[in-house]
Amino acid sequence: MKLAIVGAAGSIGAPTAFYIAQRNIVDKIVLIDPNQKLLKNHAMDMTQAVLEVSDSEISTGDYKDLAGVDIIILSAAQPAAAVTSRNAWLKGNLELLRDVTGEIKKHVRDKVIIVVTNPVDICTYYVYKQLGWSRNKIVGFNVNDSVRVRWALHKTTGLDYKKLDGLCIGEHGMYQVPLFSQVTYEGKPLAITDEVRAATNKAIHDWTTEFLELADARTTGWLCCITLSDLVADLVKGSSKPIVSTTPLEGEYRERDICLGVPVMLGPTGIQEIVSLPISAEERMQFHEAAENVRRVIRDAGLQ
């Protein structure tokens, strides 16, 4: 199994390459990034670091090295420090993705691509349209919001994080939809009171505000390397339970021609199934609001 990471010198790309190598999930990892010196630095260091535990072969490369690839992680982005507004961020990253998808198309057809670049709902939609690959190959990365819901539930209830299960669908952003109706503890449904729900939402909001106020160019590389490596492991071995992915929708969850976070089962050919959960009426309404918001941004950006 061959994996390539485009944007591999960055805060997400480099730790993710390291952790996937450390877990010995794939045979080959090709690192691609215009920041050649830093890229080489990571590759030289990482190769020695994982020798004891891994057979993964790590190399730096160019787009032509995408030949024979099974999975691409796309975390290329313009420097966060250069971003002055959400619009500038979107415009700059769409321009970057136009070039990157143009290069990818020259060397790969219909393989699995994990889109990490933010705003991920819009970028995944754009990559899907630009590449023209089957929709089950398009896996937008949206796992961290579910981790934060479980973390916040653990914090507010004191319940063991490892025994909690719960997902967050919708937009990766303000219009996220924590599925409180579907939370389980030790595999059994867990009733969430209004107080716990409010405290959980507040904990997520406070964490996000505090993290953003650090105003550092660094994103969440540590969490991403864990959750992205889990996602790649699911692709290689097949999911044992649903994971949220920003996915092109064609009627699922009553939305179409849009990419939003929904529960999916993964396997070597990409998304095997979009899992239809019996979510509450309120969650369905929140999901629709998320879709309307993302649709507005897509239209404003002239993509639809």
Ligand X SMILES: NC(=O)c1ccc[n+]([C@@H]2O[C@H](COP(=O)([O-])OP(=O)(O)OC[C@H]3O[C@@H](n4cnc5c(N)ncnc54)[C@H](O)[C@@H]3O)[C@@H](O)[C@H]2O)c1
The answer to whether 6 contacts ligand X (rule: CB under 6 A) is: yes
Name which of residues 104 to 123 contact ligand X (CB under 6 A): 116-118, 120
The answer to whether 34 contacts ligand X (rule: CB under 6 A) is: yes
Instruction: Tell me the closest approach of the beta carbon of residue 11 to ligand X, in angstroms.
Output: 3
For ligand X, the binding residue among 5, 10, 148, 260 (CB under 6 A) is 10
Residue 259, strand partner residues? 248
Instruction: Tell me the closest approach of the beta carbon of residue 194 to ligand X, in angstroms.
Output: 28
Helix (H) or strand (E) holding 128: helix 120-131
Nearest-angstrom CA–CA distance, 108 and 125: 18
For ligand X, the binding residue among 1, 80, 275, 277 (CB under 6 A) is 80
Question: Which CB, 5 or 164, lies closer to ligand X?
Answer: 5
For ligand X, the binding residue among 220, 269, 272, 293 (CB under 6 A) is 220
Q: How many CB atoms lie within 10 A of CB 123?
A: 25
Question: Which CB, 219 or 272, lies closer to ligand X?
Answer: 219
Instruction: Please check whether residue 23 is in contact with residue 46, taking contact to mean a CB–CB distance below 8 angstroms.
Output: no
Question: Which CB, 12 or 149, lies closer to ligand X?
Answer: 12
The answer to whether 141 contacts ligand X (rule: CB under 6 A) is: yes
Minimal CB distance residue for ligand X? 10
Instruction: Please check whether residue 128 is in contact with residue 259, taking contact to mean a CB–CB distance below 8 angstroms.
Output: yes
Question: Which CB, 35 or 181, lies closer to ligand X?
Answer: 35
For ligand X, the binding residue among 56, 101, 136, 144 (CB under 6 A) is 144
Stretch in the footprint of ligand X (CB under 6 A) among 96-104, 185-193, 274-282, 286-294: 96-104
Instruction: Tell me the closest approach of the beta carbon of residue 54 to ligand X, in angstroms.
Output: 22
Q: What is the DSSP track for 138-198?
A: EEEE--HHHHHHHHHHHHHH---GGGEE--EEE-SSTTEEE-GGG-EETTEE----HHHHH
Stretch in the footprint of ligand X (CB under 6 A) among 21-29, 72-80, 153-161, 252-260: 72-80
Q: Is the peptide bond before 119 cis (omega within 30 degrees of 0)?
A: yes
Instruction: Tell me the closest approach of the beta carbon of residue 221 to ligand X, in angstroms.
Output: 6
- Residues near 109 by beta carbon (within 8 Å), at least 6 away in sequence: 133
Distances (CA, A) of 201 to 143, 178, 195, 206: 17, 9, 10, 9
Q: How many CB atoms lie within 10 A of CB 225?
A: 21
> Binders of ligand X: how many residues, by CB under 6 A?
29
Q: What is the DSSP track for 223-263?
A: HHHHHHHHHHHHHHH--SS-EEEEEEEESGGG-EEEEEEEE
Which residues of this chain interact with ligand X, rule CB under 6 A? 6-7, 9-13, 33-35, 75-77, 79-80, 96, 99-100, 116-118, 120, 141-142, 144, 172, 219-220, 224
